[in-house]
């Protein structure tokens, strides 16, 4: 599921934009608008995440799902930059949530459904607020259960498959509700002076 790579790339791009030189301070690692230094450890983590997903993409293109999951597992269990040596930065939590979603997809495609559901739960710990990442994890959980139901049906367990399929639909419905909330509560674009709002991408709530 190479879509996860896109999210990591966007987060890395956003962090790099923040680190552009501030013309008033000539600081090479400052936020352009506030002059606040950007944590170089955060940039290192986002770069590491980008590399991990790139490796995963390459291995997934060879249909080696086990090898594809390996760099992602190293990413989520590796060193994490913290704010004040305590909390994880929002960008770190978002990357972890999205990486766990990709791990769930990879593991479920190998038939490791319990492992995949565990991945989703770990991801949800990093996406507790109703944002894109939480919605995507719920969507992924629904797809995991959908695959699980198909596997049970293939093995002749039609009753068990029906129960799991019902849960899959409930999870997908929940994912739709979360993402609808994200869209509906996105900040409105400022007017262009003619009473028309300038369209901008919806932002995930933190």
Alpha helix (H) residue ranges in the chain: 3-18, 40-61, 65-77, 90-109, 113-124, 132-154, 158-184
CA–CA separation, 8 and 133 (whole Å): 12
Name the nearest CA neighbour of 135 among 205, 49, 53: 205
CA–CA separation, 44 and 53 (whole Å): 14
Q: What is the pLDDT of residue 9?
A: 52
CA–CA separation, 79 and 59 (whole Å): 23
Name the nearest CA neighbour of 169 among 147, 145, 151: 145
pLDDT, one tens digit for every residue, the chain (206 residues)? 555 445 555 555 455 544 444 444 343 344 444 444 568 999 999 999 999 999 999 999 999 999 999 999 999 999 999 876 578 999 999 999 999 999 999 999 999 999 999 999 999 999 999 999 999 999 999 999 999 999 999 999 999 999 999 999 999 999 999 999 999 998 875 555 554 443 433 333 33
| Tens digits of residue pLDDT in 6-16 | 555 555 545 55
Domains and CATH numbers, the chain: 3-77+88-184 (1.25.40.10)
CA–CA separation, 47 and 50 (whole Å): 5
Q: What is the pLDDT of residue 30?
A: 45
Q: What percentage of residues in the chain have a pLDDT greater than 90?
A: 67
Q: What is the pLDDT of residue 121?
A: 98
Q: Does the global pTM surpass 0.85?
A: no
CA–CA separation, 157 and 148 (whole Å): 11
Quickly count: other Cβ atoms within 10 Å of residue 160's Cβ: 15
Output DSSP code: residue 62.
Answer: T
Q: What is the pLDDT of residue 11?
A: 58
Q: What is the pLDDT of residue 86?
A: 72
């Amino acid at each position: 599921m190479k879509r996860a790579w896109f999210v990591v790339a966007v987060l890395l791009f956003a962090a790099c934009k923040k680190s552009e030189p501030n013309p008033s301070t000539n600081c090479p690692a400052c936020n352009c608008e506030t002059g606040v230094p950007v944590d170089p450890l955060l940039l290192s983590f986002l770069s590491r995440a980008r590399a991990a997903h790139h490796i995963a993409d390459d291995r997934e293109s060879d249909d080696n799902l086990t090898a594809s999951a390996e760099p992602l597992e190293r990413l989520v269990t590796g060193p994490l930059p913290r704010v004040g040596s305590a909390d994880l930065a929002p960008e770190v939590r978002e990357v972890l949530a999205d990486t766990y979603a990709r791990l769930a997809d990879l593991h479920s495609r190998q038939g490791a459904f319990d492992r995949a559901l565990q991945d989703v739960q770990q991801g949800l710990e990093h996406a507790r607020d109703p944002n894109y990442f939480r919605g995507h994890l719920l969507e992924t959980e629904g797809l995991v259960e959908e695959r699980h139901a198909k596997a049970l049906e293939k093995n002749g367990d039609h009753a068990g498959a029906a129960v799991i399929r019902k849960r899959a639909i409930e999870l997908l419905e929940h994912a739709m509700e979360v993402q609808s909330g994200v869209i509906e509560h996105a900040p409105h674009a400022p007017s262009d002076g003619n009473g028309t709002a300038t369209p901008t991408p919806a932002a995930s709530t933190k």
